[in-house]
Chains A and B, each alone.
Chain A
Amino acid sequence: MKIDSYLKAKSVEEAYKVLKENKDAAVIAGGAWLKLMPKTIGTAIDLKGLGLDEITETDNEIVIGCMATLRQVEKYEALQEQYDGIISKSASSIMGVTVRNIATIGGTVAGKYGFSDLLPTLMVVDAELEFYKRGRVKLSEFMNEKGFADDILTHIYIKKVKSRGWFETMKNTAIDFPIINSAVIKSPEGYCIVIGARPYKAAYAIKSMEFINACKNPGTDEIAQAADIAADEMKFGKNQRGSAEYRKELCRTFVKRGLTEVIS
């Protein structure tokens, strides 16, 4: 990683302008994994100091600034109360405190990292993003778009819902990237299932969700069937952490555990 110049933006407008006018400019967010990127950044845009590191609340939503660290997200009390605290739990499972004090939620979201533990939980609770020019957009929509944002992500919105949620991640060691992870919720709209670290980016288990949502009172058999459907419909790949077959079996187990937990 090489950085030619550094800009501490004085405003989001300035950051946006520099980003749009320079093809080799990039917003560096927390910068925790900058070193691992095999490219040269012409201008590294820093959003630090613009007040985007705050977490606030309205009556219906929790509003997280893009520069809030994973440690802030993990510790924020109101987030621990949503969906059995799965967002806090997923944030706390990422590396150690020394990294979570650097890495930001904005960097995680904008990077669409396949290895992210946080993204599946944000997707499963149907988080929304706010971009400086584009305005608000659902995270699910952003994840489906090709490439990365050419706008400045400023805030992440989480609806306040006290309902059941489950998150689990499988790692070789606590400081490794996950082999697979999964988030499951039961909300007033129904069940939602997201599988991440496949090792591709996180995605909804659509067919499995359709099946379980169509069941009136899902029991053990229906849960097992939904888990099989999820394992069959998701695409898995291999890397140094695990094979596609291994991930498929873990997915089956995770969906079964997740649904069992939120239904109980």
Chain B
Amino acid sequence: MKTKINVNGTLKTFEVKPDEYLLDTLRNSGCVSVRRGCDTTSCGVCTILLDGKPIASCSYLSCRADGHNVTTVEGIPKEVALIADFFGHEGADQCGYCNPSMALTIYAMKKELKNPSDDEIRAYLVGNLCRCSGYVAQHRAIRAYLEVE
């Protein structure tokens, strides 16, 4: 079935199966910054922004995204570069597999929450797992990023 999705500002038409998930549609179209992890909504590495809201693309049917806007890290390069700088400065990444999903969730959080507390930041990132860092350095980097006007 034909599905039109605006991906990072460009309207694209995809031929998708009824049980195809957005993760597969995006990866098959070359958008491999969207990662495959658990494939069952638990790890968060497949996070994308659907109309600005972070969702697990591994569990969102592609046909349901028809007429909607999808943002991946390629769609917000300046913000991602800024977040990456803070992550680098704080030593907040190791393998980097979760970085695109973290960047998108952090970006969405900054738009959604005003002056979030440490607990609110942790709660917002519950669904984004990092198996390397232990989150302490990431938390410092996120704090620094949130302070940027």
Contacts and interface: CB of A to CB of B under 8 A. Distances in A.
Given A36-B40, A175-B127, A97 B105 contact: yes
A175 to B, nearest CB: 5
A96 B50 CA distance: 15
Interface in B22-75: 39-42, 44, 47, 50, 53-56, 58-61, 63-64, 66
B15 to A, nearest CB: 13
Interface in B91-149: 105, 108, 123-129
A50 interface: no
Interface in A1-40: 1-6, 8, 28, 31-36
Interface of A: 1-6, 8, 28, 31-36, 44, 46, 48, 71, 92, 95-99, 101-102, 174-175
Contacts of B9: none
Q: Which 6 A-B pairs have the closest CB atoms?
A: A96-B127, A3-B19, A6-B18, A96-B126, A3-B18, A98-B56
A35 B40 contact: yes
A162 B19 CA distance: 43
A193 B39 CA distance: 36
B1 A6 contact: yes
B127 A98 contact: yes
B56 A102 contact: yes
Nearest to A71: B53
Given A6-B1, A8-B66, 19 more contacts: A8-B63, A32-B59, A33-B41, A35-B21, A35-B39, A35-B58, A35-B59, A71-B53, A95-B41, A95-B127, A96-B128, A97-B126, A97-B127, A98-B47, A98-B56, A98-B128, A99-B56, A101-B53, A102-B59
A1 B58 CA distance: 13
A152 B124 CA distance: 32
26 contacts: A1-B19, A2-B19, A3-B61, A33-B59, A34-B59, A35-B21, A35-B39, A35-B58, A36-B40, A44-B18, A44-B19, A71-B53, A95-B127, A96-B126, A96-B128, A97-B124, A98-B47, A98-B55, A98-B56, A99-B59, A101-B50, A101-B55, A102-B60, A175-B126, A175-B127, A175-B129
B42 A175 contact: yes
Contacts of B66: 8
How many B residues are at the interface, by size bracket? 20 to 34
Given A31-B59, A31-B64, A92 B18 contact: no
A179 to B, nearest CB: 17
Contact of B18 (A4, A32, A48, A102): A4
A1 B66 CA distance: 21
- Chain A at the B interface: SS class: mixed
B41 A48 contact: no
Given A4-B18, A34-B59, A98 B40 contact: no
A158 to B, nearest CB: 23
B61 A31 contact: yes
Contacts of A6: 1, 18, 61, 63
Nearest to B50: A101
B106 to A, nearest CB: 11
A170 B54 CA distance: 26
A186 to B, nearest CB: 27
A99 B53 contact: no
